[in-house]
Each structure stands twice: as C-alpha cells, then as structure tokens.
Structure 1
Amino acid sequence: MARTSLIVEPKGHVMTWLMLDHPAWDLDTGTPIRALRTPTGTWTFTGSSERMATLICGDGSAPVIDSYDPVSLLDGRVPVGLAASLHRLGRVERVRNPDLWEALATAIVRQVIRAGQARKMHRAFRTTAGEAAGSTWLIPTPEQTLALSAEDFAELGMAFKHRPLQAAASAYLTHHAEWAQLAPDALVKALQSVPRIGPWTAGAAVADATGDFSLYPYADLAVRTWAALADPATAWPTDEPGFAATWRRLAGPHLSVLTVLTLAWGDHHAQVDQGSTHH
C-alpha cells in the first residue's frame, strides 16, 4: 500500500498555530499524536512543540487542512481587543475530520463535561474498545460501540454515555449513506432526529466534519469564556441568546473564522494554563 507523508508547518514568515483542541489528539507524552479513520485507510499525525505535524497516509491520499486567517477580521467589526488577541495568535490550521462517525461520537463524549474530562474519557474509550494505530488508537467503530454492554460503559466511567452513543451508532449504520449526501446545515438538522442529540452536539459534530464553524454552537460556554478572556475590556453578553446575536453581528461574513479562531485562542490559553480548560 502506498504511503505518503505531509508536513504541516508555518508558511513563510506567518506564524501558524496547529489546533489540537480535538480530544482525539493524545497529548500526554508531550508529542501530540492522532489517528483518523478514512474510507480508504488510516491517517496518523505526529505533532511537535512547534505545532508542526507529520502526517502518514496509508492510502496515498491527503487530508483536508483548513486554514483560518485573522487578517480577515481586521475590518472594524470585531472589537479591537479581541481582534488584536486573535491576530497575535496568527493563522490557525485544523485537520478536518473525514469520519462523521468519529465526529458524532466525539461530540457526544464532550456533552456537558469539561474539556479535560472529555479528553480522558475519549482516550479511555479508544484504548479500551478501539483499534490500535501506531502508538495511538482509533475510536471504536459503530459496530464495536454497539457490542459494548452497559457494564462495559460503566467500567469506563461512561455509564451516562451508553445510551446516546449506542443510539448514534445505530442511526449512523442506518443513515450514513443518506447523511453523506446532505448539505451541512441540513445534516445538522438530520442528526437531531437521533435520541440524545440536540443542537449543540449536532452543530459541533458537523463543524468538526466540514471545517465550517458557523455551524458550531458559537454561543456556548467555551466561546463565551474565551472571548471574555481574550478581550476583557468588552462588555460581552453573558446569556446565550444575547451573546449569539452580538457574535453574529460582529462576525458578519466571517462567522466561521471568528468562532474557530476564538476556540483556537482558548486552546492556546489552555495549553499555557492547564487549569483554565473549558467546553
């Protein structure tokens, strides 16, 4: 099988931040690593302290690396303080998730709990029930997820994730071909027909799978928290509807870029101050 490698690294003199917010990135060793399942093979990434990543593709294909540039926000709409913080961060690159099942299962794991807990739970789920991929693990397939008992989930500390994950696995096996044909906004609606999947989970999953963060639940606690920390001089609304309306107005045509860059700023902040991680 053909194997190719790709280096994702800063381009020219522009600082680039490789976003490692996704809980599938294993960060415990100090060298970030991640594996992703695709329809034709497995991709593995190895990062570095400089936020570069070497990608090994088992099928000769290349990943989609989405790039988000803060220069697009310097049009006067975004408050000066927030724009300055995001501009200092630099361009952000993020690996788009080619596996809708993993994106959906990850969003379910992230429901309600803090980011640090979600990362530990995601890793436990992968290492216990998933497949090894080099020195990391792939998330369990829908079939593997359905094969787990309630007791298995309880032993993983995931008893409250048992029913939503298995409902999603069953729905994915039934509808994945249909879902693959849907436009992103229609997919967000379709996913909400699955029990225990609401707007937050559906939006987070589709943003992960498409790279379009205008679909992310941009008024959630993470975005509100990071916006306030990145720009404490602005009086941000603290309620979700008020924040959402303000965020849309400030973002204009750059809603996806503003949202993902703010989350990336939070990712950077959390790496510096491990006690401040939120979801």
Structure 2
Amino acid sequence: MAAVETKFFDYDRKEVEYLSQSDPVLGAAMARFGRVEREIIPDLFAALVNAIIGQLVSVGSAKTVWNRMQESLGDITPENLSAVSADDIQRCGMIMKKAVTISELSKDILQGKIRLGDLRVLPDQEVIRYLTTIKGVGLWTAEMLLINCMERPDVVSWGDIAIRRGMEKLYGFPKLTKDQFEVCKSRYSPYGSVASIYLWKISTLNE
C-alpha cells in the first residue's frame, strides 16, 4: 500500500506581503509565526474522501480514520473503495452516513456519473455547485476540496469552526458575526486561502 501523495499549499512572499498591507493585524501574526505549511492532497478523489471524513469531527479524529482507511482498505481510489462494502468503510471509524457517501461516490465515478477531473477548469462557484449535487457533500466539504486539493487562492470558509475561532482570537471578537466575517474575508481577497492557513494556525493557540 502506498500512502496518498501529499504536498504543501503553494504560496510565496507576494501573498504574505499583500495580506500584511491589507490587514496589519493579520500581518503581525504572520510575521510572528513565519511560514506556515498546509499539507494538501493533489488527487481529487482522495482529497474529497478526506474532506468527507473530516465533516463535523476534530482534525485528530479525522486523521486517525484516514490513516486506518489506508491501512485497512489500501489505496484511496474509486476502484479500491467500490470493491468493498459501506460496512467495511464504516469500520474504519466513521458514521455510516459518511461510509455510504464514500461507497456511492466511488461507484458513481467508476460508472462515469461523476467526473471529478472536469472540476479542474471550472471557477470556484461552479466547482461548489457541481460538488454539492453529490449526496453527502455540502458547502464546507466543497470549500475544503478547493483549498486542500485544488489550491484555489481565495477560499475562506464561514462553515469552518476553526476559521471562525481563528478570527475571534486574532481580532478579539467575543462571538464572530457573519458581517464581521465578510469584512475580514473581503480584506483578504484575492489571497483568502493563505489567510485561512494562518487562521487555522491561530485557532490552535492555547489549546
């Protein structure tokens, strides 16, 4: 069994300097941390399975299930996962609803009903629209694929609890409102994904 190939999200000084100028508070935090790496999964199918596993669970729990899946079921490919039952997938430590989603996704890809490769050329909103037609895939999951696989540059997810927590810690908001989130997100654009990488880091402070 070969582990799923990963790499780090690609960004450089251009994004950091832009964000530091447009949002000095974030800029100060970025200077304090130095470069923060975000591991991503370039393969669309494996990354989507990983995002489904990560729905509504902690990062640690998701990682445990992800590693167990690879150890128990082998390579994370549509061929491999369609050859096992949803029960086999569920036994890796996730709820049955997710296991069924992954099982059906695998079969639909093999049958040509879902064509993930087509997503590469679509703009972000079209990718989200396509993915959210898949049963068991919502907005957050689609946004995670955009950033954690496709390396799209401007993704900041309201649905991500850690992103919201990072903003609250960074700016001292007692409880982040949607309006406050949108103001911050607009300041980060067009490099919201790099801001997200730092907000994830900030969210883990004092834990």
TM-score range for the pair, normalised by the shorter chain length: 0.7 to 0.9
> What code does the residue aligned with 1:118 have?
A
State which of 165, 170, 179 in structure 2 corresponds to 1:242: 179
Q: 1:193 aligns with which of 126, 133, 157?
A: 133
Q: Which residue of 2 aligns with 1:78?
A: 23
1:172-215 CA deviation, whole Å, 9 max, x = no partner?
33213433443343222211111111111011012112212523
- SS of the residue aligned with 1:164? helix
What residue in structure 2 maps to residue 147 of structure 1?
83
Q: Which residue of 1 aligns with 2:43?
A: 99
AA matched with 1:251: Y
Structure 2 CA distance for aligned equivalents of residues 71 and 264 of structure 1? 18
- Shift in CA distance, 85/109, structure 1 to aligned 2, threshold 3 Å: same
Go from structure 1 to structure 2 and tell me whether the alpha carbon gap of 1:170 and 1:182 turns closer, same or farther (over 3 Å shift).
farther
Is the helix fraction higher in 1 or 2? 2
Q: 1:172 to 1:90 in 2, by over 3 A?
A: farther
Q: How many angstroms apart in 2 are the aligned matches of 1:242 and 1:187?
A: 25
Q: Which runs of 5+ in 1 are unaligned?
A: 1-33, 38-42, 44-62, 132-139
Question: For the residues of structure 2 that align with 1:259 and 1:102, how far apart are their CA atoms?
Answer: 21
Q: Which amino acid aligns with 2:119?
A: W
Q: CA deviation at 1:216?
A: 4.6
Task: Letter of the 2:56 partner, please give it.
Answer: V
Q: Does the aligned pair in 1 maintain the 2:81–2:106 contact within 8 Å?
A: yes
Structure showing greater relative contact order (alpha-carbon pairs closer than 8 Å, 6 or more residues apart): 2
For the structure 1 residues 108 and 243, does the alpha-carbon distance in structure 2 shift closer, same or farther, using more than 3 Å as the test?
farther
Which AA in structure 1 matches 2:176? T
Change (3 A) 1:228 1:235: closer
Q: Is the 8 A contact 1:192 1:199 kept in 2?
A: yes
Q: Residues 85-138 of structure 1, C-alpha deviation per residue, up to 9 Å, x if partnerless?
A: 22211123445532001111111000011111111111111111014xxxxxxx
Q: Counterpart in 2 of 1:36?
A: 4
- Structure 2: tracts of 5 or more residues without a match: none
Letter in 2 for 1:263: W
Matches of 1:84 and 1:96 in 2, distance apart? 25
Partner Cα separation in structure 1 for residue 9 and residue 23 of structure 2: 25
Structure 1 residues 191 and 219, CA gap change in structure 2 (3 angstroms):
closer
Q: TM-score, normalised by structure 2?
A: 0.80
Kindly indicate whether the alpha-carbon contact (under 8 Å) linking 1:89 and 1:265 is maintained by their aligned counterparts in 2.
Answer: no
1 CA distance for matches of 2:137 and 2:4? 23
Q: How does 1:254-269 map to 2 (within 5 A)?
A: 254-266=191-203, 269=205
Rate the CA distance shift 1:253–1:141 in 2: closer, same or farther, 3 A. closer
Query: 1:74/1:150 Cα in 2 relative to 1: closer, same or farther (>3 Å)?
Result: closer
Question: TM-score normalised to the size of structure 1?
Answer: 0.62
Aligned length: 200
Q: Using the alignment, how far apart are the partners of 1:126 and 1:91 within structure 2? A: 29
In 2, Cα distance between the equivalents of 1:93 and 1:144? 30
State the 1:78 CA deviation.
2.1
Aligned positions of 1:104-115 closer than 5 A: 104-115=48-59
Q: Deviations over 1:225-272 (max 9, x none)?
A: 12223x2x5326524x334312223324332221222224446x4xxx
Residue 74 of structure 2 is aligned with which of 120, 130, 151? 130
